[in-house]
Amino acid sequence: MIPEYLIRALLASVMVSVLLGMLSPLINTKGLAFLTHALFHSLLFGAVLGMILGLLFENLSLVMLVALIVTVIVVLTIAELEKLGFSPDSAVGIVASFVAGLTVLGFGVLYKVMATRPYFPLGESIVSYLTGDIFLITLDDLTVLVLGGALLFFVVLFLYRDFLYLSFDPEGMESYGGNARAYLMILYVLVGAIGALIVQTVGLITLQVVAVLPGAIALMVSNDLRKVIGASLFLTLGVQVSSVILAYFTDIPPSGLATIMLGVIYGALLFRR
């Protein structure tokens, strides 16, 4: 008999794989790997702020919502700085450093609020948020992940060709009447929203790796965009499901196993070259 929590974990892995498998090639072709670094800081700050508000209002379900709102604000700020003339790396660096400082201050406020409230297992929640623990996902969490993930997936799928044009020929898009800046901001928001949705299952520490490496590996294998997307989806699904099954038998966090698998595959392809 398969445990119910394992079934939930496998279903969550499939949803995460579909989102990351579609998104990872875009992150690589548009050069958004550094943006995921800013996502790390914004998601952590959003989680800390959400925990503070959750303690004050006695509703810890606010954590994901606040993290999503903070992340969207951060990526929109980065896009706005780029619009003002800053390079993408400079815009990300400025915002990420500012958010990192706010995160440190947020932890100080969180500890003070915790001291005035009844005990909540926030220490465990923070560790789970950083490392990801897909086996703790509840039916409600899975429902939010599936419904939210399906919505984001169809938005990405609907705009995917436009995002590819944006990646390879933004000037050509503008010449045909497309608004490259608007599409870039939409892509940034989608990256942030997907990160906020899956972070509790993937983990903040490994989020950047699992978001970037599948697409990078797929681009090393093929130059055909359809094959790249297919390889990214297949690789992400295989790694995510395999890591959950291995973690079930070894008690090792699946996010760590997934990162190691991707690193080994990427390294093997580099050495083969």
* Percent of the chain predicted with pLDDT > 90: 25
pLDDT band at 134 (very low <50, low <70, confident <90, very high): confident
Average pLDDT score over residue span 175-191:
80
Residue 133 sits in a domain whose CATH number is: 1.10.3470.10
Q: Residue 31: what pLDDT?
A: 78
**Helix 254-272 vs helix 204-221: crossing angle, to nearest 10:** 30
Report CA torsion sign: 179, 185, 186, 187: positive
Residue 37 lies in a domain: yes
Is residue 14 predicted with pLDDT exceeding 80? yes
- Distance between CA 122 and CA 57 in Å, rounded? 15
Of the listed ranges 56-70, 94-108, 187-201, 245-259, the least confidently predicted one is 56-70
Q: Residue 173: what pLDDT?
A: 74
Residue 227 lies in a domain: no
Residue 244 lies in a domain: no
| Residues 159/182, Cβ–Cβ less than 8 Å | no
For residue 67, the Cα-to-chain-centroid distance in whole angstroms is: 12
* Percent of the chain predicted with pLDDT > 70: 94
Q: Residue 246: what pLDDT?
A: 92
Residue 187 lies in a domain: yes
Q: Residue 243: what pLDDT?
A: 93
Backbone angles phi, psi at 118, to 5 degrees: -60, 165
Is residue 152 predicted with pLDDT exceeding 90? yes
Backbone angles phi, psi at 147, to 5 degrees: -70, -45
Residue 213 lies in a domain: no
- Distance between CA 129 and CA 46 in Å, rounded? 11
Closest CA to 167 of 71, 20, 25: 25
Average pLDDT score over residue span 68-78:
86
Q: Residue 46: what pLDDT?
A: 87
> Tokens 């579609």, residue?
22
Amino acid 211 reads: A
Q: Residue 273: what pLDDT?
A: 66
Q: Residue 149: what pLDDT?
A: 92
Taking phi first (over 0 means left), then psi (-120 to 50 degrees means alpha), and beta for anything else, what does residue 251 get?
Answer: left
Is residue 19 predicted with pLDDT exceeding 90? yes
Is residue 3 predicted with pLDDT exceeding 80? yes
| Residues 44/107, Cβ–Cβ less than 8 Å | no
pLDDT in tens, 110-132: 888 877 766 555 555 666 677 77
Average pLDDT score over residue span 18-45:
83
| Residues 60/51, Cβ–Cβ less than 8 Å | yes
Is residue 236 predicted with pLDDT exceeding 90? yes
Q: What is the DSSP letter of 60?
A: T
- Residues 6 or more apart from 177 whose CB is under 8 A from it? none
Q: Residue 189: what pLDDT?
A: 85
Here the tokens at position 228 are: 């790249």
Q: What share of the chain is helix, strand, coil (3-state, %, to 5)?
A: 85, 0, 15
> Tokens 């810890």, residue?
60
Is residue 238 predicted with pLDDT exceeding 90? yes
Mean pLDDT of the chain, nearest integer: 84
pLDDT band at 239 (very low <50, low <70, confident <90, very high): very high
Pinpoint the alpha helices (H) of the chain: 4-29, 33-57, 62-83, 88-115, 122-131, 139-168, 170-175, 180-202, 204-221, 225-250, 254-272
- Residue-number span of the structural domain to which 71 is assigned: 4-205
Is residue 66 predicted with pLDDT exceeding 80? yes
Is residue 71 predicted with pLDDT exceeding 70? yes
Q: What is the DSSP letter of 222?
A: -
pLDDT in tens, 210-228: 888 999 999 998 888 889 9
Q: How many CB atoms lie under 10 A from the CB of residue 34?
A: 18
Closest CA to 23 of 218, 174, 201: 218
Residue 69 lies in a domain: yes
Residue 125 lies in a domain: yes
Residue 181 lies in a domain: yes
Look at the chain and report how many structural domains it folds into.
1
